[in-house]
Amino acid sequence: MKVLFFRAEDIDFQKRRVHAWTSTSKDGLSGWTRNYHPLPDVIYENYYLNLVGSDPRILKVRREFIRRGIPVFNPTLFNKAALHRILSASDSTRGYIPPSSPVRKASDVLAFLKTFQPIYLKPVTGSGGAGILQVELLGSGQIRVRSERFTNNQRFTKYFTSGQFQHFMARQLSKRRYLAQKGLKLIHKGDQKIDFRVVVHRDSTGMWKSVGIRPKLGKTGSIITNSHAGGQKTTWSRLFRWSQQERVHLPDRSALEKASIAVAERLTAFRPHLSHLGIDVAACEDGRIYVLDVNPRPGRDLLTPEMLVLVTQYTVGFASYLTKQQRRSSSHDFITPFQY
């Protein structure tokens, strides 16, 4: 399989060619040249999500490839509210979703807060823990709101009366939509919360497989574990050694992988060309496992060298799978519709 690297502006559909970079070396560290090549058999679309929405050429080119029957994989996914609806509607994934609810008014937040303590308000769009609020009703009747990455990524802690909080939330809800989620008692190392990034990928048969698990430790005292908020990654072996010394129960790797693959398979029904996901899974002190977030284009900085090799093999294998599927479909004069 020849791999071509190109941008939306490098494509000439009239001449059925792309102006792309290729490497002639086996390790890809040298021998790079840029030449014209025929249109590829399959596209791995890997633009940053913010560029997909801001550059109309990207969407136009994607649609043209699809119109021509050329598979495009690695699609964009849904916002957090839509993900919650989809995953909560299936028996295979419902049990992995923490109690959650979209909130549209300050009174919705207060009602949810009276049921669960504390709660997290997650912007339905966004990543890296930006804008997430922890809301807690204190014994004094005050409401404490915390965020690790609030306006301009600054930390935020403030105490409100009920009336002040409603005014604050009305202002926040006028700017963005939130999903309210029950706060979970995660296993922790000292004052560091622990969750797990499970990377899953489809292989040359189209099946979902686990690439590996990277435990994440939140910054001391932080409400989230994201690296953007000072969190750090570790390895399963290091965490396991610590858990043995401190007699802390870790979840089975297979249980984390089972939850992640169930989520991936459920989402594939809505995004047939979904190829890989980084799924954040929480293990609670009571032994329950919950899916906290689904990242459609997870950062590779969390991957070990071994995981990077496996991801590369799966990416090529899945591209080959789509190409064979497309050729088989074309031989019957039928093209499978792609859902974006």
Provide the pairing of β-strand 192-202 with 276-283: antiparallel
Q: For residue 10, which amino acid is it?
A: D
pLDDT reading at 27 higher than 50: yes
Counting DSSP H helices and E strands in the chain, the numbers are 8, 17
Check residue 51 and give its pLDDT: 74
Residue range 230-259: average pLDDT? 91
Q: For residue 277, which amino acid is it?
A: L
pLDDT reading at 312 higher than 60: yes
Of 60, 38, 58, which is closest to residue 49 (Cα–Cα)? 58
Check residue 161 and give its pLDDT: 94
Torsion of CA 327, 330, 336, 337, to 10 degrees: 110
In sequence order, which residues have a C-beta less than 8 Å from that of residue 36 and are 6 or more positions away? 17, 18, 19, 20
pLDDT in tens, 153-208: 788 899 999 999 999 999 999 999 999 999 999 999 888 999 999 999 999 999 99
Q: For residue 322, which amino acid is it?
A: L
In 3-state terms the chain splits into helix, strand, coil percentages (rounded to 5) of 35, 25, 40
Task: Report residue 338's pLDDT band, with 50, 70 and 90 as the boundaries.
Answer: very low
Cβ-contact 101, 275 below 8 angstroms: no
Query: At 64, phi and psi to the nearest 5?
Result: -70, -40
Quote the CA–CA distance of 27 and 29 in Å, as a whole number: 5
Question: What is the per-residue DSSP string for 52-89?
Answer: HHH-HHHHHHHHHHHHTT--EES-----HHHHHHHHHT
Question: What is the per-residue DSSP string for 140-170?
Answer: TS-EEEEESS-GGG--EEEEE-HHHHHHHHH
pLDDT in tens, 54-81: 788 888 999 999 999 999 999 888 999 9
Of 223, 330, 230, 325, which is closest to residue 282 (Cα–Cα)? 223
Residue range 16-24: average pLDDT? 96
Q: Is 195 helix (H, G, I), strand (E, B) or coil?
A: strand
Residue range 144-150: average pLDDT? 90
pLDDT reading at 332 higher than 60: no
Q: At what angle do helices 162-173 and 106-115 cross, to 10 degrees?
A: 120
Cβ-contact 102, 177 below 8 angstroms: yes
Task: Report residue 141's pLDDT band, with 50, 70 and 90 as the boundaries.
Answer: confident
Residue with the two structure tokens 């074309």: 330
Percentage of the chain lying above the pLDDT 90 cut: 71
pLDDT reading at 339 higher than 60: no
Task: Report residue 331's pLDDT band, with 50, 70 and 90 as the boundaries.
Answer: low
pLDDT reading at 7 higher than 50: yes
Q: Is 189 helix (H, G, I), strand (E, B) or coil?
A: strand
Residue range 8-27: average pLDDT? 94
Quote the CA–CA distance of 206 and 230 in Å, as a whole number: 36
Give ∠ CA 156-159-162 in degrees, rounded to 5. 130
Task: Report residue 231's pLDDT band, with 50, 70 and 90 as the boundaries.
Answer: confident
Residue range 111-125: average pLDDT? 93
Quote the CA–CA distance of 197 and 9 in Å, as a whole number: 34
